[in-house]
Amino acid sequence: MKQELIYEGKAKQLYASSNQGEVIIHYKDDATAFNGIKKASIENKGILNNAISTRIYRYLGEHGIRTHYLETLNESDQRCLAVTIIPLEVIVRNVAAGSFSKRLQVEEGTPLQHVVFELCYKNDDLGDPLINDDHALALGIATEADLAQIRAMTFSINQLLIQLFLQCSIELIDFKIEFGKTASGELVLADEISPDSCRLWDMESHEKLDKDRFRRDLGKVQEAYQEILDRLIGVLDK
């Protein structure tokens, strides 16, 4: 049962649960971009992201990825394992876009000759700076064993997500994931996987079906998220 609010983030709220070792995650309609400078509420975003993340987490779980996800309780809430989040944004890039394109002057949409794995230090005051493994070790953010496991799990997750979205006629350009440690010390995938945290382009038209519609004022944000959900339902809810 949902108890007191423990933490409020930009897009979700975390509630204590009457079940030991669990939390309840509530998906909000709020959207932010550019480190919180741009803010809006997108109608139904919480419901859509809960439904999308639920399906992606179940799919990853069925394919052997250990995650924090336990159960979807209603249209906005999930029951998850309580974890201590490792303050790293783990980013995978299959195609150039966003900050990669800007920083390295590579045109958006250019396929990459090698999958790029990036770490950012999750720290709003610093604007989530890009760091490397040595920085993460030096700051005590993670151990070498954690980093090796994060990298291996992340590459498996990338392969699984590429395959899933391919079946939806969607190209997985890039995405961000987070990891946490359970009370017993197990490393698990945590946080959401949704159009808020992935770049997803229609395979044929290359239309953006993700948060870039909000970041770049392209309109039809809700419609794009609904499209992602509908395609996932078509593939996964048989």
Query: Least distance in Å: CB of 124 to ligand UDP?
Result: 9
Name the token pair of 236: 């996964």
Q: Is 45 in the site for ligand UDP (CB under 6 A)?
A: no
Q: Is 179 in the site for ligand UDP (CB under 6 A)?
A: no
User: Residue 96, SS3?
Assistant: coil
Candidates 44-52, 55-63, 92-100, 220-228; binding stretch for ligand UDP (CB under 6 A): 92-100
Task: Tell me the one-letter amino acid at 170.
Answer: I
Between 77 and 196, CB nearer to ligand UDP: 196
* Helix (H), strand (E), coil (C) string for 114-141: EEEEEEEECCHHHCCCEECHHHHHHCCC
CA–CA gap between residue 6 and residue 2 (Å, rounded): 11
| Local structure of residue 82 (DSSP, 8 states) | -
Residues from 149 through 178 that contact ligand UDP (CB under 6 A) = 174-176
Between 17 and 175, CB nearer to ligand UDP: 175
Site residue total, ligand UDP (CB under 6 A): 14
Q: Is 89 in the site for ligand UDP (CB under 6 A)?
A: yes
CA–CA gap between residue 26 and residue 75 (Å, rounded): 9
Bridge partners of 120, per DSSP, are 89, 130
Query: Least distance in Å: CB of 173 to ligand UDP?
Result: 7
Shortest Cβ contact with ligand UDP: which residue? Answer: 98
Name the token pair of 162: 């590429």
Interface residue with ligand UDP, options 57, 59, 69, 100 (CB under 6 A): 100
Between 199 and 213, CB nearer to ligand UDP: 199
Name the token pair of 56: 């992606």
